[in-house]
Amino acid sequence: MRIDFYRPNAQLQPFIRYYWILNTKENLDTLTFPIGCPQLIFHRRSRFYIPELEVKQARFTISGQVNFPARIQSSGDVETIVVVFYPHAISTIFDIPVSSFYNQEIDGYSLGDKKLKNLADDVLNVEDSIDAIKLIEKWLLQRLTETEIYNFKRVGASLNQLFFDNSISVEDMAQLACLSRRQFERVFFNAVGMKPKEYSCVARFQKSLWLMQNGNRDFAGIAYSCGYADQSHFIRECRRYSGVTPAELLKTKAIYSDLFASPF
- Amino acid (1-letter code) at residue 254: A
Let me know: does 57 contact 108? Beta carbons within 8 Å: no
Q: For residue 22, how many other CB atoms are within 10 A of its CB?
A: 20
Closest CA to 44 of 102, 119, 120, 108: 120
> pLDDT tier at 252 (50, 70, 90 boundaries)?
confident
Is residue 238 within a helix (H) or strand (E), and if so which, with residue range?
helix 231-242
The answer to whether the predicted template modeling score (pTM) of the entire model surpasses 0.75 is yes
pLDDT in tens, 117-143: 999 999 999 999 999 999 999 999 998
CB neighbours of 245 closer than 8 A, spacing ≥ 6?
Answer: 235, 238, 239
> pLDDT tier at 147 (50, 70, 90 boundaries)?
low
pLDDT given for residue 150 in this prediction: 77
pLDDT in tens, 32-89: 999 999 999 999 999 999 999 899 999 999 999 999 999 999 988 999 999 999 999 9
